[in-house]
Amino acid sequence: MDVDLHCHSTASDGALAPAEVVARAHARGVRVLALTDHDTLEGLDEAQAAAQALDMRLINGIELSCTWGGATIHVLGYAFAADAPALLKATAELHDSRWLRAEEIGARLAAKGMPGAFDGARAVQQELGDSGNAPARPHFAEFLVRAGHVRDRAEAFRKWLGAGKLGDVKQHWPTLAEAVATLREAGAWISLAHAWHYDFTRSKRRKLIADFVAAGGQALEVVNGMQPAEQVGSLAILAREFGLLVTAGSDFHAPGDWSELGMYRPLPDDLLPLWTRFDHGHSRLAAC
Ligand code: AMP
Ligand code: ZN
Ligand code: FE
Ligand code: FE
């Protein structure tokens, strides 16, 4: 695919520096890329410079953490001005709260007989690259593997870090409505990320989307990497029902992982991709 609107770098929990993500995307045929690191704008300048040198288009992006109905939800924002005051304020707050959260995760794991997780996760993160941001759950997962507390990262999430587990510390996140309001103030296009990944019933998922739309969200991420085609189909039905624009992306984090830049299931072709609304009228891209 030549458009990828969801990926991560070492600015959050990815394994490649922003410029490396851009170069890898370009090599894989991506020509319009959005870097969507968790709760940070840190990687955007480097990514923009790399994209310019390769004559590809980099859309400013971010994936904001928030809560809705007691669950952690991710909201994607696109094509905002990176110096928008609302976003600078929100990311500054999230920067601080993510450090507090990482300490809290470390303390909770220590209380369960797994000491040293904060420093261990930070060490994992620093091996990948230098970031001023707090270690994220994937860094904690890798620490738990290395310390022998779990067999693999999947088990780390299943037992300790996944939704509703002790490491899913979310008291620091804004609400869904607040996150959407921040993005709207910054002039962003807004898409609800991977709505199938939340462990919700069908009716709760529909309610989430209704609330997202009521808050001012405009698009649904109908395709997230190689998620099963039936899930894409269900999300497409919801996009039609709510009259939403759609987005798609790989959610790439690291080479050799479960996702790869530019790789995701095709969007049903009756849906209107959000990227057709980015400026300069990318009609060629609209058809892909
Ligand atoms: P954080 O920003 O610290 O909340 O970490 C969120 C990231 O953790 C997500 O973007 C995924 O990369 C990863 N993650 C969340 N849940 C799982 C899971 N169940 N299995 C594997 N990775 C997960
Ligand atoms: Zn991530
Ligand atoms: Fe996400
Ligand atoms: Fe993501």
**CATH code for position 14:** 3.20.20.140
Say yes or no to pLDDT of 282 above 50: no
- Residue 150's domain comprises 102-161
What's residue 255's pLDDT? 97
185 and 266 inside one domain: yes
In this structure, is residue 169 part of a structural domain?
A: no
Which residues on neighbouring strands pair with residue 78, listed in sequence order?
61, 189
Mean pLDDT of 121-147: 96
146 and 261 inside one domain: no
- Band (pLDDT 50/70/90 cuts) for residue 257 is confident
- Band (pLDDT 50/70/90 cuts) for residue 288 is very low
**Number of structural domains found in the chain:** 2
What's residue 279's pLDDT? 73
- Protein residue closest via CA to atom 4 of ligand 1: 137
Question: Nearest 5°: phi and psi at 85?
Answer: -55, -40
d(CA 144, CA 121): 9
Among the residue ranges 101-105, 129-133, 162-166, 284-288, the one predicted with the least confidence is 284-288
If one counts every other C-beta atom within 10 angstroms of the C-beta of residue 281, the result is 10
Say yes or no to pLDDT of 271 above 70: yes
For ligand 1, say whether the CB of 136 is within 6 Å of any of its atoms. Answer: yes
190 and 155 inside one domain: no
Ligand showing the shortest atom-to-Cα distance for residue 137: 1
182 and 271 inside one domain: yes
For ligand 1, say whether the CB of 157 is within 6 Å of any of its atoms. Answer: yes
For ligand 1, say whether the CB of 162 is within 6 Å of any of its atoms. Answer: yes
For ligand 1, say whether the CB of 142 is within 6 Å of any of its atoms. Answer: no
In this structure, is residue 23 part of a structural domain?
A: yes
Looking at per-residue confidence, does 131 or 285 come out higher?
Answer: 131
In this structure, is residue 285 part of a structural domain?
A: no
Say yes or no to pLDDT of 283 above 50: no
184: which 2 tokens?
């709207």
Q: Which residues surround ligand 2, an ion (CB under 5 A)?
A: 8, 13
140 and 236 inside one domain: no
Ligand showing the shortest atom-to-Cα distance for residue 73: 3
pLDDT over 90, % of the chain: 94
In this structure, is residue 282 part of a structural domain?
A: no
130 and 198 inside one domain: no
In this structure, is residue 64 part of a structural domain?
A: yes
51 and 88 inside one domain: yes
- In this structure, which amino acid lies at residue 266? P
Say yes or no to pLDDT of 286 above 90: no
| pLDDT tens digits for range 157-191 | 999 999 999 999 998 899 999 999 999 999 999 99
189 and 271 inside one domain: yes
Given 135, 161, 187, the domain boundary residue is 161
CA of 8 to the centre of ligand 1 (A): 12
For ligand 1, say whether the CB of 253 is within 6 Å of any of its atoms. Answer: yes
Say yes or no to pLDDT of 287 above 70: no
- Band (pLDDT 50/70/90 cuts) for residue 258 is confident
Given 133, 161, 189, the domain boundary residue is 161
DSSP state of 175: B
181: which 2 tokens?
């309001």
39 and 152 inside one domain: no
In this structure, is residue 168 part of a structural domain?
A: no
147 and 195 inside one domain: no
If one counts every other C-beta atom within 10 angstroms of the C-beta of residue 272, the result is 15
pLDDT over 70, % of the chain: 97
For ligand 1, say whether the CB of 31 is within 6 Å of any of its atoms. Answer: no
- Band (pLDDT 50/70/90 cuts) for residue 280 is low
CATH of the domain at 136: 1.10.150.650
| Residues 226 and 261: beta-carbon distance below 8 Å | no
15 and 141 inside one domain: no
Buried-state track 38-56, b at ≥16 Cβ within 10 A, e below 16: bbbbbbbebbbebbeebeb
| Residues 267 and 248: beta-carbon distance below 8 Å | yes
| pLDDT tens digits for range 213-226 | 999 999 999 999 99
Given 110, 134, 161, the domain boundary residue is 161
In this structure, is residue 13 part of a structural domain?
A: yes
Say yes or no to pLDDT of 18 above 80: yes
- Please state, rounded to an integer, the average pLDDT across all residues of the chain: 95
| Residues 191 and 61: beta-carbon distance below 8 Å | no
In this structure, is residue 32 part of a structural domain?
A: yes
Mean pLDDT of 143-169: 97
Mutate to test the pocket of ligand 1, among 66, 137, 159, 171 (most ligand atoms within 8 A of CB): 137
What's residue 100's pLDDT? 97
Question: Using CB atoms within 10 A of its CB, is residue 115 exposed (0-12), middle (13-18) or buried (19+)?
Answer: middle
85 and 200 inside one domain: yes
